[in-house]
């Protein structure tokens, strides 16, 4: 059984050998079917699939995106089944398939952690899921989750810095930021040591190097400066201001959902698991699941499919 999570920016696969993550931006026409082909032992290889890539702006609407993803997966895995927000597996494109990856994670974890809030913090978003409320979670769209505070649209790599901060203190002077796409959360987290260079897997805004120095230069541009103008410390102040704001937004949302749901604990998965487990007083699921925690929906939908096989 293969577990697959087709995101807008990343493709994640879980199989008996572990998990595999590929940067695969759908809006560039990335041929993710080619990436899936090596995992098919034959045309009858079973696959369980979730998606969130239907929201990519290369599609006119979600249903068009769903249809594209279903057809592309079925080219490689004709017997694939697709998990929906109704917590049911489907074999054809239906609206319920839109952004159901987070629900698969909840479905997998809810019995072992019935009194926890799950924070899955990846490259692009933070999913905040009260596992005790699984019946009420079914059917929720991303719009619903945004309104409830269950989806916070900021992540470890792809968030433009200027979306979270409007100014930064540079050498004691309050300095407004530009709203250009100069630097991302990956740049901030790289220079602060929160991610390693090999974890900077998305494109850079300027399509240049993924090194601390290159990231500092991109961060300096956020305040319309060259690195030589404000120095490394000035660029680091931009990174710190962004991180301080991102941390407060996510941890406040986690605390709010925890209090509203009456949960007693927080469990954390995704690229930012170790970082946010500390910040949100939670437990890092990597200690239990290992690398699978970095691709939780792909791993989870595989496990849910195995659990429900034969029912």
The residue to which tokens 């019995």 are assigned: 111
Tell me the pLDDT tens digit for each residue of 13-54.
999 899 999 999 999 988 889 999 999 988 789 999 999 999
172 CB burial (10 A radius; 0-12, 13-18, 19+): exposed
**Residue 174 pLDDT:** 98
**Residue 310 pLDDT:** 52
pLDDT at residue 311 tops 80:
no
Confidence of residue 213 (pLDDT cuts 50, 70, 90): very high
Q: Please state, rounded to an integer, the average pLDDT across all residues of the chain.
A: 96
Phi, psi of 200 (to 5 degrees): -80, 80
Tell me the pLDDT tens digit for each residue of 132-153.
999 999 999 999 999 999 999 9
Smallest CA-to-CA distance from 127 within 148, 113, 111, 110 is with: 148
Treating both helix axes as pointing N-terminal to C-terminal, what angle do 212-221 and 227-261 enclose, rounded to 10 degrees?
Answer: 90
The arithmetic mean of pLDDT across residues 96-117, rounded, is 97
Confidence of residue 231 (pLDDT cuts 50, 70, 90): very high
**Residue 254 pLDDT:** 98
């Amino acid at each position: 059984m293969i577990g697959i999570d087709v995101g807008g920016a990343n493709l994640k696969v879980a199989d008996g050998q572990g998990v595999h993550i590929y940067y695969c931006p759908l809006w560039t026409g990335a041929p993710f079917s080619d990436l899936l082909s090596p995992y098919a032992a034959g045309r009858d290889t079973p696959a369980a699939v979730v998606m969130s890539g239907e929201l990519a702006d290369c599609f006119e609407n979600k249903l068009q995106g769903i249809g594209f993803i279903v057809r592309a997966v079925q080219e490689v895995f004709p017997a694939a089944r697709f998990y929906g927000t109704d917590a049911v597996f489907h074999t054809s494109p239906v609206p319920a398939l839109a952004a159901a990856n987070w629900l698969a994670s909840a479905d997998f974890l809810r019995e072992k952690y019935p009194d926890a809030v799950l924070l899955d913090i990846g490259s692009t978003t933070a999913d905040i899921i009260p596992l005790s409320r699984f019946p009420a979670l079914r059917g929720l769209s991303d719009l619903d989750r945004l309104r409830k505070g269950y989806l916070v649209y900021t992540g470890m790599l792809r968030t433009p810095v200027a979306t979270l901060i409007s100014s930064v203190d540079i050498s004691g002077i309050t300095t407004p930021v530009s709203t250009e796409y100069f630097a991302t959360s990956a740049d901030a987290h790289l220079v602060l040591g929160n991610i390693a260079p090999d974890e900077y897997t998305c494109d850079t805004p300027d399509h240049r190097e993924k090194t601390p120095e290159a990231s500092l230069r991109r961060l300096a541009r956020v305040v319309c400066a060259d690195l030589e103008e404000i120095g490394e410390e000035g660029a680091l102040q931009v990174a710190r201001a962004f991180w301080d704001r991102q941390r407060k937004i996510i941890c406040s949302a986690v605390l709010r959902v925890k209090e509203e749901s009456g949960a007693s604990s927080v469990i954390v998965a995704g690229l930012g698991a170790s970082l946010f487990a500390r910040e949100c007083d939670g437990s890092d699921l990597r200690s239990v699941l290992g690398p699978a925690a970095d691709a939780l929906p792909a791993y989870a939908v595989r496990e849910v499919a195995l659990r429900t096989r034969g029912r």
